[in-house]
Amino acid sequence: MKDSLGNTADVIFTVKDQLHESFRREGYDLIYTCRISLEKALLGCNVDIETLDNRILHVPITDVIRPGYKKVVQREGMPHPDDPNQYGNLIIEFEIDFPNSMTPGKKYLIRKCRLE
C-alpha cells in the first residue's frame, strides 16, 4: 500500500473478539452456560444449543449434574487458523436453579426417596 506521497507503508490490522450473547471463547474452545432446573440436574435432560453456524446440537446429559460439572462436546469449538480441519471443543457449564422454598409435601417425598 502507498501513502499519499507515494511511499510504501505497512497495513496493520487489529482483530478483537466480539462478545456473544450465548458463548464465550477460551483459546479455540467455546464455553456455553446452560441454566437447568434441579429436577433436570438430578434426572438428566437433553440440551439443545444453536451453534455459531446455525446448526442445532442435541446433547444428551445422563450424568447427575452437580456444581462445577462440565460436559465437553469434541470438535464443536472454533477452527484452528493453521489447520482448518482441527477444532476446539464446546464446553457446556451448568447453572442449577434451586427452589427458593418447598412445601412440606415435597420435602416428605424427597425424604421418602432417600437420596444418597
Tell me what pLDDT residue 8 has. Answer: 75
In angstroms, the CA 74 to CA 93 distance is: 14
Chain center to CA of 24: 8
* Section 28-38 average pLDDT: 96
pLDDT tens digits, one per residue of 59-93: 999 999 999 999 999 999 999 989 989 999 999 99
Tell me what pLDDT residue 3 has. Answer: 64
DSSP one-letter code for 65? P
Return the residue matching grid coordinates 434441579: 38
Residue 33 pLDDT more than 80? Answer: yes
Task: Report which of 116, 67, 112, 113 is spatially closest to residue 93, judged by C-alpha positions.
Answer: 67
C-alpha cell at 15: 482483530
Residue 41 pLDDT more than 90? Answer: yes
Q: Which residues have C-beta within 8 Å of that of residue 7, sequence separation ≥ 6? A: none
Q: Which one-letter amino acid corresponds to residue 11?
A: V
H or E segment at 40?
helix 38-43
* Section 96-114 average pLDDT: 90
Residue 2 pLDDT more than 70? Answer: no
Q: Which one-letter amino acid corresponds to residue 73?
A: V
Tell me what pLDDT residue 12 has. Answer: 81
